Structure 1
Amino acid sequence: MIERYSITATPEKISERFSVDVPDFFKPRYNACPTQLLPVITNSSPQGVSTFYWGTSPEWSKNKSLSEKIINTPVEYIADKPAIKKAMMKTRCIIPADGFYAWKKAGKKTFIPYRFICTDQEIFSFAGLWEEYEDTDGNEFHTFTIITTPANALVSSVYDRMPVILSRKDEAIWLNKESSESDLSSILKSYSAEKMNHYSVSPLISDSTADVPSLIRPAPAADQFGNLTLFD
């Protein structure tokens, strides 16, 4: 499961990269986590950045009878589950990012965090789906999920899944309301390993309350307890 990513660019850079209006309250995220309000660009409002909850809102996440936490949607589900295919045809979004994290299992209870970046795109995006919900009080809010695919050769050295990373051309297809099912399905694939890099980062990335610049910097390979390991 992909449960952490980063988007640390300035509002100006995001606006330039995606040709969108960015809210004044936007701030960098070095450790974007589920249930947080995070920036997305939807196919229904592609001219600006919206902020949706990743997976579900903090309130709903405490009550599984109201909503399950859905932070990732495997691409394989789209063909098998009619409701997800319907969502793909109607409620698509892209999620601006400049990196994502995955943990490498190095022992029974040892996991090493790594950050993955694209070498051909300083800022990129994940393919996603969004939904609108209404709580028991009648209040509406929006959520998003990141579509994942089997990992490429680089990512698979750490973890077996990765987000669907889009090129600029693919972003235009994903946000176009007129795109066909075959057009959309054709871009849901693993990003080229040759266009990516990765490095180990601080185990503090596991702390959902941590959100500081040092989290995206390379750090010696260490497990979740801060113990150095031989893995790199």
Structure 2
Amino acid sequence: MCGRYSLSKSKIELEERFQAEMLADFSPRYNIAPTQLVPVITSDSPKGFSFFYWGITPEFGRNKPVSQKLINARAESVHQKASFKNSFKRRRCIIPADGFYEWKRLGKKTTIPHRFTLENNALFSFAGIWDEYETVDGENQHTFLILTTEPNQLVSDVHDRMPVILDKGSEKKWLDSYSSEEELIDLLKPYPSDHMISYPVSPLVNSIKNDSPALIRKTSPMDQHGNYTLFG
């Protein structure tokens, strides 16, 4: 799954990379978590950023509390599941990012967070779908989820799934309303591991209350005595 990611670039960098206008204010984010409001670009409005909540309530379970929402969907079956196939056909989006986090398990109780980025620390996007649903208060909310696929060799050392990462050409196809189902499915593959890097980061990222540049810095998971530490 993908349950945390970063978008540490500026508003200007985002607009230049994605050739889209952002009307709202934006500050770099280092620890984006489910239920939060973040920028996406939809197939309905590819020239502008929209702000949606991360987490979709399926059609069969509307008005469930936030904790029960889905945040990811399996790329292998998203076009087949009744709860997602309409969004796959008509409501696709890309989610700008510059890194994502996964936790490597060491023993029964210890996990070490790792950050995954492109080799040049460039902006990229996740493939996603979005939906609109009615809250318990009768308000309409726009939400999205991130598609995941089998891990590449780099990610597989830490986790058994990874988000679908799109390059610029793939983004255009993913947002194009005229792309065929076969073309779309062909995009949902693991990103090449030789174009990515990973490194351990501070366990401060474990708490969504923390959101600072320190979270994306490389740290050493152990000190010279073999104890887990926050600092390299």
| TM-score between both structures, scaled by the size of structure 1 | 0.90
Task: Return the offset for 1:168.
Answer: 0.5
Pair 214,67 (structure 1): closer, same or farther in 2 beyond 3 Å = closer
Taking the aligned partners of 1:172 and 1:3, their CA distance within structure 2 comes to: 25
Structure 1 contact 174–184 (Cα < 8 Å) conserved: yes
Query: Which residue of structure 1 aligns with residue 26 of structure 2?
Result: 26
Relative to 1, partners in 2 of residues 1:189 and 1:3: Cα closer, same or farther, differing over 3 Å?
same
Cα deviation, residue 56, structure 1: 5.2
> In the TM superposition, what is the alpha-carbon distance from 1:221 to its structure 2 partner?
1.3
Q: Deviations over 1:15-51 (max 9, x none)?
A: 0000000134111110000010011000011111111
Unaligned runs of 5+ in 1: 58-62
Question: Alpha carbons of 1:111 and 1:67: their partners in 2 closer, same or farther (altered >3 Å)?
Answer: closer
The alignment partner of 1:77 has SS state of coil
What amino acid sits opposite 1:31 in the alignment?
N
CA contact (8 A) 1:35 1:56 kept: no
Q: Which has the higher mean CA deviation after the structures are superposed, 186-195 or 135-144?
A: 135-144
**Deviation for aligned residue 1:65:** 6.1
Aligned-pair identity in percent equals 49
Are the aligned partners of 1:150 and 1:160 in contact in 2 as well (CA < 8 Å)?
A: yes
1:92-111 correspondence runs (5 A): 92-111=92-111
1:150-229 equivalences under 5 Å are 150-221=150-221, 227-228=227-228
Alignment of 1:128-143 (within 5 A): 128-143=128-143
Aligned 1:81-92 pairs, distance under 5 A: 81-92=81-92
Instruction: Number of aligned residue pairs: give it.
Output: 221
C-alpha separation in 2, matches of 1:200 and 1:19: 32
TM-score by length of 2: 0.90
Summarize deviations over 1:68-92 as a string: whole Å, max 9, x none. Answer: 3111111122244133222111110
Structure 1 distance, partners of 2:65, 2:37, is 22
Q: Secondary structure at the match of 2:76?
A: helix
CA–CA distance in 2 between the matches of 1:107 and 1:192? 29
User: Once superposed, what is the RMSD of the aligned Cα atoms?
Assistant: 2.0
Match of 2:60 in 1: none
Letter in 2 for 1:39: P
Provide closer, same or farther for how the CA distance between residues 54 and 98 of structure 1 changes in structure 2, counting only shifts above 3 A.
same
Structure 1 distance, partners of 2:166, 2:121, is 10
Distance 2:137 2:69 in 1: 20
2:117 is matched with 117
Q: One-letter code of the match for 2:131?
A: E
Equivalent position amino acid for 2:188 in 1 = L
Q: What runs of 5+ residues in structure 2 fail to find an aligned partner? A: 58-62
In structure 1, C-alpha distance between the alignment counterparts of 2:90 and 2:201, rounded to whole Å: 37
Paired residue secondary structure (2:152)? coil
1:144-192 deviation per Cα after TM superposition (whole angstroms, max 9, x unaligned): 0000001000000111111000010000000111111011000000000
| 8 Å Cα contact 2:56-2:131 kept in structure 1 | no
- C-alpha separation in 2, matches of 1:37 and 1:45: 18
Equivalent position of 1:60 in the other structure = none
